[in-house]
Structure 1
Amino acid sequence: MQPYCRHRAEQALNAHWGREASLRESTTMVTALQNPMSFSTHTFLMENLGMHLEQARGIYTEHAPYNCHCDAEAMSEAQAA
């Protein structure tokens, strides 16, 4: 699966909904996916996107692109450290 990032989440939601996802929506999705054991994450996801965690994970897995500019940034940060 692709690494979690807001840009991938935005593109996944765009493809799923057929409209532009907002910054809040894509941030909500990736935050929820990165914190799957937190009950508040599930509540936050339902309140802001109206979907369950498994549905969000499925949308991300199906629609998120494999390449993102975040990958290069993360790699360069890791090499600098």
Structure 2
Amino acid sequence: MVAFELNTLQVECTMFFQENPYTFETVNGISIRIGRRVEDLLPVLGALVESMILERVGSGESAIYRYIQPTWSGLNEESLWNEV
């Protein structure tokens, strides 16, 4: 079993990008939009990039973050529900 820590800021960032899937934003822009400090966001965004939830383009303060939409390997929604 894989252990993980549920970080509320990770959830908040993930929800922000899920609700705004076409957003391309710097850490400063994300900070303004969700009302969090850049210092708190940097490690969280890094973890989301490592988890392949976000993509980072560039580096440093000018890096752009964007949401990676999940794919279902060619399965349609109906066949997914039939599996459940």
User: Shorter-chain TM-score: which interval?
Assistant: 0.3 to 0.5
TM-score normalised by length of structure 2: 0.34
Tell me which protein shows more helix as a share of its residues. 1
Tell me which protein shows more strand as a share of its residues. 2
Which structure is higher in RCO with an 8 Å CA cutoff and minimum separation 6? 1
**Larger gyration radius, structure 1 or structure 2:** 2
